[in-house]
């Protein structure tokens, strides 16, 4: 069976020529993300900040968000959030945490019911307390940290510790800059957003592993080749796979950005950013880091370095 797409020509791009610029840009993005996190903070959703979530459906046709928002603002229950999702009749209402216990939260819900009951059919009411929100934040932080440590341990076990360092640096870079994006755009950060962060980490390391695997293979073939040249060969050999994977995944992500609705907005934008920054970090962080902490290379009869370009033209991964 013939492949649908076959890359006949392997490029000869000098990625290492630009690696210092890539590393400098990564440092700037990381520092800017950290600064935004502490300066602006994250716009925590109800999952983390606590409050009341109401899912309702309009009984009079498409929901008139402007009119509903005006009525909610006059209730004196704090700054409310109202957005459409799914069909034009579906509405999500978020109320901030009310002073007091659960009875105070339900009293706020009753106010909303009384003001909008004739226009909306209340389908779900969810109350999240501040303690639960704090616990979810800690659980999210631990989930991210443990995922990064597990990724580093896996790379260390499969390759060598130098590869684990490079993978950890690039993955942490992707996670930090994604959090910085949420702080910059003030996108709602909830459990779905956390899932996007962890997905980005997994996607980034997948691309990095493919590059590392080709590098290890080339290290066995060309034992005496200049390591800078070897990195360029490995990056060019895996470039077609990277482009095809990113482009196809990006099509699905763009569909979510355009038609996914407000509920998936943060997730889809984060995923789109993750595709871009994950590819960048694999090419300009994960691989170049090894240039400075080169792994041990086996001693043996080396192929002539001149064979490398010919081998690179042999086919795409």
What is the tens place of the pLDDT at every residue in 139-159?
888 888 888 888 888 888 888
**Topology of the domain covering 15-43+133-302:** Multidrug efflux transporter AcrB transmembrane fold (1.20.1640)
pLDDT attached to residue 301: 46
Least confident of 93-97, 166-170, 251-255, 311-315: 311-315
pLDDT in tens, 154-178: 888 888 888 888 888 888 999 999 9
- In the chain, residues under CATH classification 3.30.70.3400 are 51-128
User: What is the rounded distance in angstroms from the CA atom of residue 183 to the CA atom of residue 111?
Assistant: 32
221 contacts 300 by C-beta, under 8 angstroms: no
The confidence band for 314, taking pLDDT boundaries of 50, 70 and 90, is very low
Calculate mean pLDDT across residues 101-107.
74
* Nearest one of 209, 227, 208 to 219, comparing CA atoms: 227
Q: Where in the chain is the domain with CATH 1.20.1640.10?
A: 15-43+133-302
Model confidence at 7, in pLDDT bands (50, 70, 90)?
low
Which H or E element spans position 93?
strand 90-96
Which whole number is the average pLDDT over 209-231? 85
Please answer whether residues 40 and 183 qualify as being in contact, where contact means their C-beta atoms are separated by less than 8 angstroms: yes
Output 49 or 308, whichever has higher pLDDT. 49
Q: How far apart are CA 99 and CA 11, in angstroms?
A: 63
Statement: residue 290 has pLDDT above 60: yes
φ, ψ dihedrals at 138, nearest 5°: -65, -40
Residues 6+ apart with CB under 8 A from 236: 10, 11, 12, 13, 15, 312
Nearest-10 crossing angle of helices 191-221, 161-185 = 150
Contact 27, 288 (CB under 8 A): no
pLDDT band at 300, cuts 50/70/90? very low
- In CATH, the architecture of 51-128 is 2-Layer Sandwich (3.30)
Q: Is the pTM of this model over 0.85?
A: no
Per-residue pLDDT, averaged over 36-55, amounts to: 81
Mean predicted confidence (pLDDT) in 16-37: 92
Provide the pLDDT for residue 297.
Answer: 64
């Amino acid at each position: 069976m013939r492949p649908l797409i076959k890359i006949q020509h392997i490029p000869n791009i000098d990625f290492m020529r630009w690696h210092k610029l890539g590393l400098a840009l990564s440092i700037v993005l990381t520092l800017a993300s950290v600064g935004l996190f502490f300066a602006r903070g994250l716009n925590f959703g109800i999952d983390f900040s606590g409050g009341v979530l109401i899912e309702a459906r309009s009984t009079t046709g498409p929901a008139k968000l402007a009119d509903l928002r005006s009525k909610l603002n006059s209730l004196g229950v704090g700054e409310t959030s109202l957005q459409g999702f799914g069909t034009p009749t579906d509405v999500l209402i978020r109320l901030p945490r009310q002073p007091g216990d659960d009875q105070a939260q339900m009293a706020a819900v009753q106010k909303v019911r009384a003001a909008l009951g004739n226009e909306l059919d209340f389908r779900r009411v969810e109350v999240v307390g501040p303690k639960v929100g704090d616990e979810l934040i800690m659980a999210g932080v631990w989930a991210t940290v443990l995922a990064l440590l597990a990724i580093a341990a896996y790379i260390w076990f499969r390759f060598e510790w130098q590869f684990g360092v490079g993978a950890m640096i690039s993955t942490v870079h992707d996670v930090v800059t994604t959090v910085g994006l949420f702080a910059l755009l003030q996108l709602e950060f909830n459990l779905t957003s956390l899932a996007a962060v962890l997905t980005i980490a997994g996607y980034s390391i997948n691309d990095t592993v493919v590059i590392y695997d080709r590098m290890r293979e080339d290290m066995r073939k060309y034992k005496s080749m200049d390591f800078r040249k070897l990195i360029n060969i490995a990056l060019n050999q895996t470039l077609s796979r990277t482009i095809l994977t990113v482009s196809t995944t990006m099509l699905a992500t763009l569909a979510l950005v355009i038609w996914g609705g407000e509920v998936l907005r943060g997730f889809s934008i984060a995923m789109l950013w993750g595709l871009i920054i994950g590819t960048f970090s694999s090419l300009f962080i994960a691989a170049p880091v090894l240039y400075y902490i080169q792994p041990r290379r086996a001693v043996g009869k080396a192929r002539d370095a001149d064979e490398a370009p010919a081998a690179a033209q042999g086919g795409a991964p």
